[in-house]
Amino acid sequence: MTLLVSLQPYSDESLSGFLRRVSERNFAPSVGAFLKCIGLKSRLTYSESELARLSSELGVGVAELTRRQVQQESIAALLQAKHHGRNVKICPLCIAQAPYERIGWTHGAITACPHHEVRLVSHCGACNHPIGRDSSLEICRCGSAHAQAPAIAASRGELALSALLLDVDHVARHSLPLAWQRGLAPVDIVDLLSLLGRHFPGDAALAPQSKIPSGKPTIDVLGARTLSGIELMMDWPNRFDNALAMRLKSTEGPGLAKRLGVWYRELHQRYLNTAYDCLRNALVQHLSEGFDGHLNLRISTLDPQHLQGKCWLTSEEAGRLIGMGSELVRTAVITGEIEGKHTVRGQNRFVSIHRNVVEQVRRDRQQYFDATTTRKQLGVSKVVFERLMQAGALRKRTKSERPPLVAGEFFAEEVLALVARLAGSLDVRDVPSERLVGLHDISGRRGISTDSICNVLHRILASEIRPVLIVTSLHGLAGLRFDLQDITNNVIDTEREPMLLVTDIVRLRGWKHENILQWIKQGVLGAVTQIHAGRPQHRIPLSALLDFMSNYAVLADLASRSGSKSNHLLLSLKPAKVAPVGVAGCGVKRGVLVRIDDLLRAAQLNKRQQASS
């Protein structure tokens, strides 16, 4: 189908509104008739294949169309299909400015325009006919202009709710909890507000309803409940605190659910987003300070009979799940090392930790090994393990680098990756059995000095000396076997080759200390890392320095010799496709290197261009 008029959607235009505008400009009687011409039906949500067809016909990208349509499983609260109806609500002032449908005008909970601070209109002001998805947004069928409909001022609650869902910065939104005042709303916030509005409908906060209506609410009911829920959150936390205080004060008895209602269980079990922590904290605060029912000092145990269903745990329960003492968990919460709730009542202290925090601690602890576990995973003795550490096989994390309550010092993935990397570098060849040695055999008994052992292990870690055999019955690195001849040859080379410190190169070449460390980290400058006085020390073989200088040129040195600046020189080399080594992003950073081969290629290219001209 060839369109008479091709259009592009506005930045905040919905997909249904865009289709309406395209059908009107191409003289189609309705959106359904227009879609029928291209083999589609009018839907609330279109499939991927249907969006691809629309993209082909309309000349608009699939991604642009997708972000404008409501979806069954949308990650945005604004675009969840279950909250949208068939009719459209419009802002008369927006229509007067530009007659197109904005994203969110079909959402049941959006009833106001935060830009003009007026209520949205769902019916014609003259004949009261509803505005449908196929209806014109400019003129009703009775001839009245929708832009001339009365503009009724919206309430603070309506403005706050609409601004929250549309992610608009509005003064009414600033009275909501801090986590709700900026950014996109959590995906399930409409369901949460509807839940609160269902249990706290308007002035019914004094006592829980004996029977709460169940089932899927209509769009109008959803809007009313959500508005009641947002009104409860306005002027945070005063209205919410007052509603809870009045509800608990007006009821009696030991049962929490009977007095407060069962909504708090869903809050803890279903709505786990951190944006709702404000609700959880306010509830726990009320229960700890004002609830006179039977909690048995288990304030966070909202369902004490079912541990698996709880979202807040005591320190004892959290300790059992994590696998550590409850006193350590309690101390971590009190000192702020992990998130949790600490309540003091007389001589009693109560600590509660959210299940998400407990699960995160469990996952963190599983990702780290202590020294004993690491050594067992490697399959080496304490002596060999210490030598491997001196050669830089693994990096030990300090306490400040590890997540809370993690005692292990070694990252588990790095340990397993080390075993896999060395086993994967196998160089299979026939070697006499008397020349086969393991890591534990690299010692003075084989004629290898203590000073040379670290260099040998470093070359093994760099795959410069590769295993020739793996004994599969042994675990980890214990089964690796090397050719003794390769090791002795390396010892001879190592003893003859001078080694330089980073400070030596700084003195000889004038390069900056941090730039040299950066080159070592990038792998362009070979170095041997040893532990000296408890700190890592880099030693650069002379051959590695010569290899570096023969392959790379320091951009700052070239700029100094040419009387230019590094960024100007790099820009002049860019047409010849001379790119810096190991630099991501834009701009020139310190210690930039260029390959000498690239410079030679650029010189040859320039020579050919001059010859041809």
Q: Is 104 helix (H, G, I), strand (E, B) or coil?
A: coil
**Backbone dihedral angles phi then psi of residue 187, each to the nearest 5 degrees:** -60, -30
The pLDDT, as a whole number, for residue 355 is 79
Among 209-218, 282-291, 351-360, 508-517, which is the least confidently predicted range? 209-218
DSSP string, 133-182: TTS-SSB-TTS-BGGGS--PBPPHHHHHHHHHHHT---GGGGGS-GGGSS
The proportion of the chain whose per-residue pLDDT surpasses 90, expressed as a percent, equals: 33
Work out the average pLDDT over 357-380: 92
Work out the average pLDDT over 303-329: 69
Q: Tens digit of pLDDT for each residue in 25-52?
A: 888 888 888 888 888 888 888 899 999 9
Per the prediction, the chain carries an average pLDDT of 84
Nearest alpha-carbon partner for 137 in 87, 95, 85: 95
| Band of pLDDT at residue 86, cut at 50, 70 and 90 | confident
Which one of 165-179, 236-250, 333-347, 481-495 scores highest in mean pLDDT? 165-179
Q: Tens digit of pLDDT for each residue in 139-190?
A: 988 889 988 999 999 999 999 999 999 999 999 999 999 999 999 999 999 9
Residue 305 has pLDDT above 70, yes or no: no
Residue 235 has pLDDT above 90, yes or no: yes
Residue 78 has pLDDT above 80, yes or no: yes
In this structure, are residues 350 and 297 in contact, taking their beta carbons and an 8 Å threshold?
yes
Among 217-221, 446-450, 537-541, which is the least confidently predicted range? 446-450
The pLDDT, as a whole number, for residue 292 is 46
Rounded to whole angstroms, the Cα distance separating 555 from 571 reads 12
The pLDDT, as a whole number, for residue 306 is 34
Work out the average pLDDT over 237-247: 88
Rounded to whole angstroms, the Cα distance separating 89 from 118 reads 12
The pLDDT, as a whole number, for residue 542 is 87
Amino acid identity of residue 606, one-letter, is N
**Greater pLDDT, 603 or 588:** 603
Rounded to whole angstroms, the Cα distance separating 132 from 548 reads 72
Residue 532 has pLDDT above 70, yes or no: no
Which one of 209-213, 246-250, 565-569, 582-586 scores highest in mean pLDDT? 565-569
| Band of pLDDT at residue 303, cut at 50, 70 and 90 | very low
Work out the average pLDDT over 81-93: 89
| Band of pLDDT at residue 488, cut at 50, 70 and 90 | confident
The proportion of the chain whose per-residue pLDDT surpasses 70, expressed as a percent, equals: 87
Among 129-133, 147-151, 190-194, which is the least confidently predicted range? 129-133
DSSP string, 410-435: EEHHHHHHHHHHHHHT-------GGG
Rounded to whole angstroms, the Cα distance separating 479 from 40 reads 65
| Band of pLDDT at residue 601, cut at 50, 70 and 90 | confident
Work out the average pLDDT over 111-130: 92
**Backbone dihedral angles phi then psi of residue 518, each to the nearest 5 degrees:** -65, -40
Which one of 219-223, 421-425, 586-590 scores highest in mean pLDDT? 421-425
**Greater pLDDT, 613 or 589:** 589
Residue 525 has pLDDT above 60, yes or no: yes
| Band of pLDDT at residue 347, cut at 50, 70 and 90 | low
Nearest alpha-carbon partner for 96 in 123, 116, 126, 117: 116
The pLDDT, as a whole number, for residue 290 is 53
Residue 373 has pLDDT above 90, yes or no: yes
Which one of 332-341, 344-353, 409-418 scores highest in mean pLDDT? 409-418
Work out the average pLDDT over 109-122: 94
Other beta carbons less than 10 A from residue 582's beta carbon: 15
Q: Is the pTM for the entire model greater than 0.75?
A: no
| Band of pLDDT at residue 135, cut at 50, 70 and 90 | confident
